[in-house]
Amino acid sequence: MLQPEMMGSEAEVAFEGALRPKSLAEFVGQQRVRGQLQLLLDAATIQNRTPDHILLAGPPGLGKTTLAMIVAHESGRPLRLSSGPAIQHAGDLAAVLSSLVPGEVLFVDEIHRMARSAEELLYLAMEDFRIDIMVGKGAGATSIPLDLAPFTLVGATTRSGLLPNPLRDRFGFTAHLEFYDTDELVEVLRRAAVLLELAIEQSALIEIARRSRGTPRIANRLLRRVRDYALVHGGDATRAVVRSALELYDVDELGLDRLDRAVMNILLTRFNGGPVGLNTLAVSVGEESETIESVVEPFLVRIGLIIRTPRGRMATAEGWRHLGLQPPAGALPGPTSSTGRADAHPSSTGAEPLFDDEL
């Protein structure tokens, strides 16, 4: 007999599995990437060969792992999952590659964090499907070539710039995943709500989508918190329920959480909108500078609340207004696109490499 908590855990695992689309037709968003992948897979099927190696680049939570699973499913191949941090020696990679069956899809998440020795071993494996194994040491060492079964490598990275050029050039196709718009996130949420058996209004779905930072993973997480709130308080998930639930979890109208608002508050009230160096900002908030730079700052820059300058971080007029403060004279308006939304690419702010804490 299964205990109730074990049954609940199995239900959550089953939900996570059902949440991932099984085909490109079910996958929501990334229309251009889906079309490119479909062509690549169809051509490989017609020619009866393994698909080219694929590199999926983009921020976390946009569906890189799901797309890798779809590649294996649609090509009818088995899938092997691994990650860059788990491959810290060339021998680790050699053991994985030598055990692959013909046509198998090898997915390596965070491939940019793989050891350099393993990366160099991968060059020959990707091109010629063989590796050279060194046997012995010193003058008596010999190299033994080992043929590999043809395979497809699917690499996922959140920082493609950290990949060495020889490795990046060996991928036959590179897909750059972009943030989702509100309509696409609504479709993602509607599908998840059906799986959760949650009755929810259209306006409530839109409210969650607007606060999801353009990321399906965050959208699904917020939906589950709304599900929990509606379950505890009774009733359907209305827009009012969504607002109450997300207010409880410190997620505001733009998707800013507690740490985001803490950074904005420090920047505006203590440093009068900047400029301020990264390390000074991190110490003032009580967080590591890496957390501010990799977790908080990209989203604030993307929606135009702060900008990066050679002298440090500065708040825009939109940043002042979002926190209910009057922007000072001369406050920067913030980068916007032709649609009036904050530009999705932080590099478009004209930022240069920063000199941290020179103030």
β-strand partners of 174: 55
Contacts of 324 (CB under 8 A, 6+ apart): none
Q: Tokens 């990334």 appear where? A: 30
| 335's tokens | 């980068």
Backbone angles phi, psi at 20, to 5 degrees: -80, 125
**CA–CA distance, 308 with 276 (Å, rounded to integer):** 10
Active site residues: 64-65, 109, 158, 217
Q: Which candidate, 159, 184, 128, places its Cα nearest to that of 56?
A: 159
**CA–CA distance, 217 with 326 (Å, rounded to integer):** 34
**CA–CA distance, 78 with 10 (Å, rounded to integer):** 24
Q: Tokens 């606060």 appear where? A: 211
